[in-house]
A and B are shown apart, each in its own frame.
Chain A
Amino acid sequence: MKRAGKLVLSLLALAAAAQDSDQRLGSYRVLNAFELGHRSVFVSGSRQMYGASLNYDNGLRLLDGNLRLHSGGGQGRWIDEMVLTTFGAGGDPYQASSLRLEKNRFYRYDLGFRIVNYSNRLLSLSGGEHRQNTERIFQNHDLTLFPQRRLQILLGFDRLNQNGPALSSENVGVLRDDAFPRDRFFAFADDVRRLNNTWRWGVNLTLLGAKLSFLRGWDNYKEDTRHSLPTVETTGQVPQRFRRDDPVHGRTPFTRLNIHSDANRRFSLNGRFVYTGGERNFVLDETAGGPQATRQTYVLGLAKRTQATGDWTLALQPSDRWAVSNTTALNQTRISGDSAFVHLRLPAIPTDPGRDEYFFSLLAIRLLTNSTDVNFRPSKTLGFYGGYHYSIRRVQNREIFEEFGGRPDGVPLYSFENVTHSGIGGVRLRPVAPLTLLANVEYGRAGLPFTPLSERRYHAETAKVQLKHKAWLLSGSFKSFYNRNAVPPVIAALEGVASLHDYRSRQYSASLAWTPRRRFTADFSYAKLHLDTASGILNFPVPGQPRPATRRSLYLSSLHHGHANGRVELHNSVTIFAGYSIVKDTAGGRAALFGIAPSYPNLALDQNDLVNAYPLSFQSPRARLAWKLHKQVSWNAGWQYYRYREKFFDAQNYHAHVSYTSFRWSF
């Protein structure tokens, strides 16, 4: 809040200084506009849901600010250009400011400053036991020295804070310990404290026509979140006392090198090498106490990750009609970590005497990709492109558990190899200047994908059309993606179960923008995003039955989105804006309501299958009025209404009126 206040004061001072000299401030030209007003909010229904999706509150705000300063002849003493923008300062949950300072040929400085107040107190995750009301503050500083020279020096600093209260949950149960039954879990309070600082420096160098970019940086991460149990005195509640500290500190150094040259149109190359290290030191100190016993757990360890990435691209353009490029990329990630685990129980029991253990885990991923793309343009109105992409990925995993003084136990080194082939193709057509048509297809096959959701046998199609004619802009697009990932028949036969993940998405959208004159603009759009997936899942294990039952889970979503905006200026002094947007998920539509799976010939629904659908609607009409009281001052009023409705339950429904009134001063 203090920071926001200072920002407001700084802006006002700058604005006042600028006003004294009209549009000139010394040798500088000044453009300035800022809007100060009051936001009012009225919410009825679920305040939690409102907080999660909007979170605006009442109060005085600097709703918008824009200050631009340019040296008249481009020869300012220290600054040639200054651009300051800000909005939401003073308490909005979403605030941002940016500043650019530049002196031609000597330096350029960019600052980004953002605050996001995030609230999620919904019941829909973990029964409301995972809540957050945190504030994130982002700072990004970038300084470039000699920005128009062959040698540029780059310096940067980023800072990210996250603070605030949150809830989390844990199952404290231990196998064969009646004092801590395994089916008990509870929520505890977090005091979230996370901090990231990133420093970096680098150079951009142009040498012999090649561009070299080097960047070296360090990211330091610190988390000192403390967890404790809200006061619980209920007899028999397990646990009655709980405290946990698990600080994590670490850093991620990174080095990035890029050399490219594309000034020569006939031949260009591009190479990148990135090495990212990373480690986190951690300690966990946890005490849980119940009416019958106390457990203490200490864990100490170090997690490491190294990631090395290299790319090499060669591009040839033998003529203006042809272009060919080939890229080879290799990425290798190795994540390893160990932790020493000490577990005490008082009083000790024979089934759980306390353990000292050591864990080691390794996850290594190597991904090699090669892609070739060809671009052919036989004429100005027609173009084609195509490509073939090949990826091979190896995932290796090992976990070792060793009881101190005991025999090492664990799993062997698993290795998993996944090869993907995909082809893409596209056509561009511009039969007349204002009309553009694009169509793309992609077809892919993968062997042994990593998860059932991964792409295995897939194809995607995209088509777009855009027509620009005078004041009209008409756009339309279609996208579809279909992926079928079925477990190999051999495994299915062996296991006696079938697994299938069918994913189908289709998106249709169209928009129309009409700007007949400066005083009047209107735009409309409609989109339908359809998604249905069918998965074989193994669930509902029933005691006494030899194996859990296999069921199918069907998810249906059919989202309709529409928006309309209109803006009109009346008599040079009044501007009216009105708009409306709606998102409505009709789930699977009428077919789903009657239990008919849409065109899955091998997946006819039966009564044991799960059908996931969550129909809801979220709509928002809005209006704004700007009335110019003076050539430099206008009065503004705005109103936006939000209505959120779920079809099956009403506990999270809400409607909200968010309005503001403000004065805007500009010159």
Chain B
Amino acid sequence: MSKYYWWLLVAVFPVVALAQGLPGVVREGEYIQGTLGSIEQAAPAPAPGDSVYSVGAWPTYTPPLADGAGKDLVVGFCQVCHSTTYITMQPPLPAGAWDATVKKMINDFGAAIPEESARQITTYLQAHYAVGNRKQ
């Protein structure tokens, strides 16, 4: 639907030429296929008149992680309790901050990560999400 609309607009472009004489107009009639994406509206959900109050499942919107050694361990261990948006949300952090974070997950939150896996997870985070190496 939106695709057809776009081509219709292209077909109308010659109209731009007619606007050359409009007072003050520098540019006009420019359209571009949106690059920022669109967001669907949610439809209303039916609800019975009982005492149960419900909403649908919580959607997740998780971007991919950087490829590299240790990624599988991150996906396997970190995602047990939280999504990896907790990683991608961070600014580039000093290497020590990632070490401290992995230790906090194990010591304070009780994440059952074997020592060698924890070391590889820390190395992965320091290699892709630290100051100097984080990529847009």
Q: Does chain A bind chain B?
A: no
